[in-house]
Structure 1
Amino acid sequence: MNGPEIRVEFAPELHLFVPQARRGGATPVATDGVSTLGHVVESLGVPLTEVGALEVDGREVPASHVPAAGERVRVRTVPRPQRVPGAPLRFLLDVHLGTLARRLRLLGVDAAYESTDIGDAALAARSAAERRVMLSRDRGLLRRRELWAGAFVYSTRPEEQLRDVLDRFAPDLRPWTRCTACNGLLREATKEEVADQLHTGTRRTYEVFARCRACGRAYWKGAHHEQLEAIVERALAEQARRG
C-alpha cells in the first residue's frame, strides 16, 4: 500500500500480533485509499476476532470505514465478558487444542473438537453450520470470513488457555455433565450397565457410575479424580470472583 498515510495505535493486548507496535505510540501505515479499516487492521496481523471498538480521531467507526489521509486510529481489544448473540454459547476447537477441549467438557461446556487436521475451510464451514465459536491459535483460520465467530487462544499452556476462555466468554459451568471423550451428555448408570468396561478391582471398589448418552463410555471417581476435582474447583472459584 502506498496511498494515504494513517497512524494506528493498538491496545497493549494486541501487540502480540503487531511487533512494531511494541515500541509504543502510533504506527504509521500507508493505505491504498479504498480498503476498509478492517482490512487494513487484518493486513497488519490482527484477526478481527480480537478487535473491539475501532476509533478514528476519537469517534467509533465500523470495520467498513475507509480511512483517509491523516486519520489517527485506535484499535481496542474485545470487551470481556464477550457476548456472542443469536445462539447458545458453543465452541469448536482445532486439532492443536485437545487438552483445552477436554477441560472445557469436564466443566460441562459444549466444546466440539476436531482430532485430525481437516483444513481451515472445513473448520470454518462447521463453525458457521453449527454456530460455534472457533477457538484456535491459527490466525489465518480466524481471518476466514465464513466463521460464525472466533477467538485466538493466546497461551500454549492448557491451564492458562482454560482460564482465558472462561474469563473471555463466561460460559455457564455444569461440571461432570459431559463426556470428555466425545462431548456427549452423561447420565447416571448402574454398575451392571457398565460392567463390561470395568476391571475386577474397579468393580469391587466403586459403586457410583455415569455413562455417556452418545458414545457409551463409563465414568467413575478413579485414580485421577483429585486432579480433575482441583481443575473444577479452581474454575468455579474464579467464576464466583468474576460475579
Structure 2
Amino acid sequence: MERPEIWISFAPELHVFVAAAQRRGRTAVRTDGASTLGHVVESLGAPLTEVGVLTADGREVRTSHIPADGEEITVLGVPRPQQLPGPARFLLDVHLGTLARRLRLLGVDTAYESLDIGDAALAARSAAEQRVMLSRDRGLLRRRELWAGAYVYSHRPAEQLKDVLSRFAPPLAPWTRCTACNGTLRAASKEDLHEQLHDGTERSYDTFAQCTDCGQAYWRGAHHSRLNDIVEESLQEFGGPPDRVRH
C-alpha cells in the first residue's frame, strides 16, 4: 500500500529550521500513516517549542493528530507574547553567558550553567525548577522532559535579549539581581563592603548594593554607563517598573 501523502506549509519564521524544499511554500510529504503530526513536523526540522497553531484542512489540531492522505497541513510559529504555565523564569546553556548576565541585569530570574552538563541534566533541571530552557541546540529543545523551551535565533547578545523579551514579556526590575549568580541585591553601606572596596572606589562612590547570596558588591563604576544603556533601551521598548537599586 502506498504511504499517505500530505501537503505541508511552514510559516516564514520557521524556515530557518526546515530544508530548502519546505521554504518554498506548500510541499508534498510522504508519511508512514502512523506517526503523529508533531513527529512529522520535528522530523522535517522544526522543534515543537517553536510551533504554535497546527491546522489540518483548515481546522486546528493537536500535535497528536495522525495526518491522513491528502490533508493540507499548516504549521504556524508561536504567538508573541507566548503564554507560559507559570512565571517567566529561564535556564540558559553554557553558550549563552552574555545573555544570562543581561537578563539578570534587567531583574529577570535567570539560571545559567557555565559548564556543559549535558542535555539530559539541563532538561531535568528545566523540569524540576519550572524554567524555560533557552538554547541554540535544537536537539536539546526536542527533549520531552523540558518544562518549556525556546530557540535563541541570533548569535548576537543584543538581538538575543530583544528576542527573549519580545517572546515572553517577563516583568523587568533592573538592578535588582546579581549578574554573577542571579541572587537578589540589597542596599549596602561602605562599612558593609569595606573589605571588598579599594581605596579609590570607597572615596569615589557613595551608593552600593550587595548580593544576598554570593556577597558580590556593586556600585556605579566605569561600566555603569554601558549597562545603563542596555537597561534604558530595554525599558523603553519592553516596559517595566522604575529601577530600584542601582549599581
TM interval, short-chain normalised = over 0.9
Deviations 1:6-39 (A, max 9, x none): 1110000000001325642212111000000000
What is the number of equivalent residue pairs in this alignment? 239
Amino acid at match of 2:150: A
* Amino acid corresponding to residue 211 of structure 2 in structure 1: C
Q: Which amino acid aligns with 1:212?
A: C
TM-score (norm 1): 0.96
1:94, 1:117 within 8 Å by CA — same for their partners in 2? Answer: yes
CA distance in 1, matches of 2:36, 2:167: 27
Residues 3 and 30 of structure 2 are in contact (CA less than 8 Å); yes or no, is this contact kept in structure 1? yes
- 5+ unaligned residues in a row in structure 2: which ranges? 241-247
Per the alignment, residue 243 of structure 2 pairs with none
In the other structure, the counterpart of 1:60 is 60
Structure 1 runs (4+) deviating above 6 angstroms are none
| Structure 2 residue aligned with 1:210 | 209
Alignment match, 2:162: 163
Task: Please tell me whether the aligned partners of residues 12 and 23 of structure 2 are also in contact (alpha carbons under 8 angstroms).
Answer: no
Matches within 5 A, 1:30-179: 30-85=30-85, 87-179=86-178
Query: How far apart, in 2, do the equivalents of 1:186 and 1:27 lie?
Result: 53
Taking the aligned partners of 1:27 and 1:153, their CA distance within structure 2 comes to 26
Alignment of 1:3 onto 2:3: yes
Q: Determine the structure 1 residue equivalent to 2:245.
A: none
For the residues of structure 1 that align with 2:61 and 2:154, how far apart are their CA atoms?
Answer: 30
Instruction: State whether residues 49 and 148 of structure 2, in contact with CA within 8 Å, keep that contact through their aligned partners in structure 1.
Output: yes
* Letter of the structure 2 residue corresponding to residue 147 of structure 1: L
Question: After superposition, what is the alpha-carbon deviation per residue over 1:37-61, rounded to whole angstroms, capped at 9, x for unaligned?
Answer: 0000001110000000000110000
Structure 1, 43-52 or 20-29: larger mean CA deviation? 20-29
Is the 1:194–1:218 contact (alpha carbons within 8 Å) kept by the matching residues of 2? yes
- Deviation, 1:220, is 0.2
TM-score of the two chains, using structure 2 as the length reference: 0.95
Query: Structure 1 residues 73-82 or 24-33, which shifts more?
Result: 24-33
Task: Look up the equivalent residue of 2:141 and give its one-letter code.
Answer: L
Identity of matched residues, %: 72
Q: CA RMSD in A?
A: 1.2
What's the CA shift for 1:239?
1.2
Q: Is the 8 A contact 2:127 2:145 kept in 1?
A: yes
How many angstroms apart in 2 are the aligned matches of 1:25 and 1:239? 33
State the AA in 2 paired with 1:6: I
| Whole-Å separation in 1 of the counterparts to 2:64 and 2:22 | 26
Instruction: Identify unmatched segments of 5+ residues in structure 1.
Output: none
Partner Cα separation in structure 1 for residue 4 and residue 31 of structure 2: 5
Is the 1:9–1:21 contact (alpha carbons within 8 Å) kept by the matching residues of 2?
no
